[in-house]
Amino acid sequence: MKKRKVNNKKPFAIFLRGGTGVGKTTIGKKLAEKISPSVFIEQDILRYMVVNGLVASRTRLHPGDYPDEYRKQCKLADKNTLDLVKNFTDEGFIVIVDGFNGGESGDTFYYLKNPEKKRWYPEEGLLKQKLPNVQIIQIVLDTKKEILIERLKLIKKWNRIVIDFILKQREIFLDTLDRNQVSLVIETSKMSPNQVCKRILKELR
C-alpha cells in the first residue's frame, strides 16, 4: 500500500471506500466530528437526488433491469462528488467522502458481463485531473463475509438474492483493489467505529 504523508498546509480529502454494510457512513460521520473544519459527503444522497427516473433500491426500478442507466447515474454522482470536494477544499475544509462509484456498485453489472475489463476505479490520473491541488487519501473498509451477511440481515432485512449480489459486489471490488493508490485497508469486524477513526487519524499524522 502507498504510504501517504499528509501535508497539513495543502487541502485534503478522505475517500472511504468499500461495499455496502462495511461501515462507511457510520465511520465517516464520526470521523468528521473529530476533524475540524470538515465536511461529510454521503454519496448515496447525491444519487437519490434523481427522483423521477431513479434506478436504485429505493424505487421499484431495479438496477439489474436498467444496468446502463444505473451505471450512468453512479458516474454522475462521482462527478458531482468531485465538484463538491473541490468547492469545499477551495474554502479550506477537510472533506470526508462516504463511498464512490455508486457506493462501490456502479460497475458491478458491467464487470459481471465483462470480467476481463475489471479494474480499480477511478484511475489515479482522473483524481489528479479533477482535484489537482488536493491530497487524495483513499481508505478501504472491509468486513469478513460471514459478519457482513449478518449485518445485512439485521440492518436492511434483505433477502438472500440481494445479499448474494452485495457479496458479488464486494468480491469484484476487492479483486480490483489497487494497493498503490490506497493508503490503508481496515478490517472492521472486530473494531468499533471509534477505534477505526482512531486508526485513520493516526494515518493522517
Residue-range domain boundaries for the chain: 16-204
Residue 3 pLDDT: 47
At 160 the pLDDT is 84
Closest CA to 77 of 110, 101, 111, 57: 101
User: What residues of the chain score a pLDDT lower than 50?
Assistant: 1, 3-5
Q: Which residues contact 5 (CB under 8 A, 6 or more apart)?
A: none
Looking at residue 50, its pLDDT comes to: 85
Strands of 94-98's sheet, edge to edge? 38-42, 94-98, 12-17, 135-142, 182-187
pLDDT at 51: 81
H or E stretch covering 38: strand 38-42
Is the distance from CB of 94 to CB of 201 less than 8 angstroms? no
16-204 has which fold? Rossmann fold (3.40.50)
